[in-house]
Amino acid sequence: MLNENKSNGIIWIIRPGALGDTVLSFPLLRKIELQYKNYHLIFFGSNQYRYILNKFFPGIEFISFDNIDWLPLFNEKFDPSELLYSFPEKIYCILPEQDHFVNNLKLISEDLFFTSLDELCGHHISKQMFYMDNFNIEYDLCVDNLISSNATSKTVAKNNLLIHPGTGSSKKIIEDSFWLKLIDAMESMNIKIILGENDLIPSWLKNKEFNRIKDLEELMSELKFADYYFGLDSGVSHLAGILGVKGFALFKITNPNYWSPVGNIRSVFQNDISINEWSKELL
């Protein structure tokens, strides 16, 4: 049974998806955390990201979608009495994946706010929620506080460049020649290449040294000691931005105006910047 002693009520925040989707919800989580300090806040998400939610938001309870007690929420035929826990006063559902899932939520709470797949995403999530629910906390201030409170403290840069050529969608992958030119241009730096646990090994990397990240704790450790970062439109790039690392996120098909990381990660389309321009800006 959930602990309800602390709160005036219960609020659910639901975010289907993986690392990028979870990190994108951070500004909204910070808003809700500050707006409803005396409420019992519960975040529902993918179990493999429990660690990162606990690290950034220890005051928000995490419940995995894998928890069998919550599986009825995903059924097309849903009976609210099947849930064992108290219903929330308010639900924030970010980018729901299934219509019947949203309909089920409407059965257990009249106060439901959700963003649909055809609405603005990324940076715009919190702005959209601001107008929907009259939040009195400015979005930009919220993001600044989030970055400053979790940014890595660095003294002298050691020219450590972390490269992550992976992403959750094959459509976002950049051709091999780009990465080879990038590594040649940045050869004066201490380059480390990482791949996520589910990233495919690109052909250009098969004869090069790289580190396969086992979990989020290891990923955050790598980002903590990186002075600079280069990656694609991915959750790792968003996490690098949250942690205050300086660098670039390269976009191929998605719109950086919607999906751009926060912080010091500059988002550019593939054809909008050359290797030489990027290396000069960083070196």
Q: How confident is the model at residue 117 (pLDDT cuts 50, 70, 90)?
A: very low
In a domain, 248, yes or no: yes
Q: Which residues of 249-277 are buried (b: 16+ CB within 10 A; e: fewer)?
A: bbbbebebeebbbbbbbbbeeeeeeebee
Pairing of strands 10-14, 40-45: parallel
CB-CB contact of 93 with 114 (8 Å): yes
pLDDT single digits (tens) 256-276: 877 788 778 888 876 666 666
Domain end: 129, 150, 171, which one?
150
Question: Do 19 and 146 fall into the same domain?
Answer: yes
Indicate which CATH number applies to the domain containing 248: 3.40.50.2000
Question: Do 30 and 145 fall into the same domain?
Answer: yes
Question: Do 207 and 262 fall into the same domain?
Answer: yes
Question: Do 133 and 168 fall into the same domain?
Answer: no
162 pLDDT higher than 90? yes
Kindly tell me the burial class for residue 11, based on how many C-beta atoms sit within 10 Å of its own C-beta (0-12, 13-18, 19 or more).
buried
Question: Do 165 and 89 fall into the same domain?
Answer: no
Eight-class DSSP state of 17: S
Eight-class DSSP state of 66: T
Nearest 5°: phi and psi at 234? -150, 170
Separation of alpha carbons 59 and 50, rounded Å:
13
Separation of alpha carbons 130 and 134, rounded Å:
5
In a domain, 5, yes or no: no
Eight-class DSSP state of 113: E
Picking from 226, 231, 230, 164, the residue whose alpha carbon sits closest to that of residue 201 is 164
198 pLDDT higher than 50? yes
In a domain, 221, yes or no: yes
pLDDT for res 270: 67
Picking from 214, 194, 213, 191, the residue whose alpha carbon sits closest to that of residue 202 is 194
In a domain, 56, yes or no: yes
Indicate which CATH number applies to the domain containing 134: 3.40.50
* Length of the chain as a residue count: 283
Place of tokens 């002298």: 156
Domain, as residue range, for 138? 10-150
Question: Do 15 and 142 fall into the same domain?
Answer: yes
Question: Do 183 and 236 fall into the same domain?
Answer: yes
Question: Do 84 and 169 fall into the same domain?
Answer: no
Question: Do 206 and 118 fall into the same domain?
Answer: no
Separation of alpha carbons 123 and 139, rounded Å:
9
Least confident of 120-129, 153-162, 239-248: 120-129
Domain end: 128, 150, 172, which one?
150
- Bridge partners, residue 26, by sequence: none
Residue 146 tokens, joined: 């989030």
pLDDT for res 205: 92
Domain end: 150, 170, 190, which one?
150
pLDDT for res 164: 95
Q: pTM of the entire structure?
A: 0.73
Q: 152 versus 118: which is more confidently predicted?
A: 152
In a domain, 1, yes or no: no
**How many structural domains comprise the chain?**
2
Question: Do 145 and 15 fall into the same domain?
Answer: yes
Question: Do 60 and 170 fall into the same domain?
Answer: no
Pairing of strands 211-212, 160-164: unpaired
pLDDT for res 95: 63
Question: Do 106 and 181 fall into the same domain?
Answer: no
In a domain, 169, yes or no: yes
Separation of alpha carbons 252 and 89, rounded Å:
41
pLDDT for res 163: 96
